[in-house]
Amino acid sequence: MKVDRTKVLLAISNAARKHGTNPEVAEMLKNRESYADDVVSSIEDGSYINRLQYRSLTKVNPNGKRRNINSPSLYTRVLQHVFLVLIMPIYKKLDPGIGMNCKDGYGINSSIKNNSVMHKVKKLMYDKRNLHYSLIVDQRRCYDHVTRKIFRQSLKKIVKDKELVDFGVEVTFCGNTFPIGTPTSPVAHHIICLGFDRWLGGVAPFKVRYADDCLLAFETKEEANEAKWRIQNYWWYEIGIRAKTTTCRIQNIDKEALSYCGFVVRRNPEKVINDHDKGYCTVKQGIKHRANHCSKNESWAAYFGIFARTDSYTTMKSIEERMKLSELTKKIKIDREMDAKNISPKDLLGVKFTIYDYDLRKDKNGTANWIKFLIGIPDEKTGKILAREFHGGYSFLVDFIARAEKLVGKENLLPMEDVEIESQSGFIFKDSKNQMEFIDDLK
């Protein structure tokens, strides 16, 4: 199969994303040009098939569910990204936007409202008052049921190039197994479900699919029942996948809460579309329990992001307070009534303060990208030290602290007295236009 070398280079960059600290990935990027030549050559002569490799892993989800993961080798991952670069433009032209997982711009809480699962679900519960019954139906062990034959047939419906179809099948499957956890697995599932997604347009007035979990809504219970059987038959006869019978449910959403993707949304049936208090949104008890018992600082922000889209104000406030370095406020003499309230950096312009402690966080590649400061500000009226905190991805401040800590150690860096910040295309420590030069003065 002929392949454009520029697309292979793009695939190499995509495969390296979030793996930059891996020595093998670093070596690949260092020799990107020769690596691309090797990939192109192996695709064109068909020898790539003999170089496909996977490593079996077991992943335990927070809910205790165990999944067997097939982790591709770096070379295999590059080949998979080559297929994605080739197939995604074709898929996107046909995608009706019903499947909302593992696609750029889509997600449970996407910032793009029309691509957000929760925005659509809330719109259903709060505004689509003519729809009274929901249907939730999902696929039974879909990854175990997907075969090479089914995927090949699905690809041939959107691609006329036989060589591209063959290539896609070979790099997507691990032998005869449809693997979990590879770059191609969610896209392959979208391609298999593409005909179903388009077919749904004439079945339900409201439809959302997140992976193998479908949510539809109808005006009557009879319509929901009819759709249930039509969907189950479609899955089995068209793509060879069975529906779960134990979790399939039809409910009156005027009377019962709708639970989907971990969120629980309730409708106030007495309200109309222009009213306030049309309903409210919370999360499942399991998520709330894990959030309240979270022991890792890195997870608090993720849970906070979940609860920020709900009406669980008490839980959200509790998590927010835990993020505000409440333990660190015990290290200094402060007005306990103030207990490290948040302050905006712009309100610190022109103010001298002391940095008593900080929490520096890093991304998966080990690069510092976020910081939380605990500071003390003298109260001119009472003379007390007021504790405040501010946090965010302020690149200049993060870079300075990360470099200074590496140079002298955190224990020798704190406390930092008479600190001022100023705004110069971003917040920066005063008199530190050149961060490296400023840090060198600490030597």
Half-sphere exposure of 283 (CA within 13 A, CB side): 22
**Res 119: pLDDT:** 93
Burial of 246 (0-12, 13-18, 19+ CB in 10 A): exposed
Q: What pLDDT, in 10s, does the model give residues 78-87?
A: 999 999 999 9
Q: Which residues contact 316 (CB under 8 A, 6 or more apart)?
A: 304, 307, 308, 310
Q: Rounded CA gap, 108 and 63, in Å?
A: 18
Instruction: For CA atoms 58, 60, 64, 65, give the dihedral sign.
Output: negative
Q: Is the pLDDT confidence value at 117 over 90?
A: yes
Digit-coded pLDDT (tens) for 178-206:
988 899 999 999 999 999 999 998 899 99
Query: Which of 266, 271, 267 is closest to 283 using CA atoms?
Result: 266
pLDDT confidence tier of residue 336, bands split at 50, 70 and 90: very low
Note the pLDDT of residue 70.
84
Tell me: the pLDDT tens digits for 207-259?
A: 999 999 999 999 999 999 999 999 999 999 999 999 988 889 999 999 999 99
Looking at the chain, the number of H-run helices and the number of E-run strands are 17, 16
Residues 6+ apart with CB under 8 A from 320: 304
pLDDT at residue 340 greater than cutoff 70 = no
pLDDT band at 332 (very low <50, low <70, confident <90, very high): very low
pLDDT of residue 107 exceeding 50 = yes
Stated as kind and residue range, the H or E segment containing 291 is helix 285-292
* Average pLDDT over all residues of the chain: 86
pLDDT in tens, 290-324: 777 766 655 666 676 677 778 877 776 666 666 55
Show the tokens assigned to 184. 């191609």
**Per-residue pLDDT tens over the stretch 373-388:** 888 888 777 777 788 8
As beta bridge partners, residue 376 has 354, 387
**What distance in Å separates the CA atoms of residue 301 and residue 372, rounded to the nearest whole number?**
12
Encoded amino acid at 247, one letter: T
C-alpha span between 344 and 132 (Å, rounded): 45
Q: Is the pTM of this model over 0.75?
A: no
Above 60 in pLDDT, residue 362? yes
Which is higher by pLDDT, 160 or 296? Answer: 160
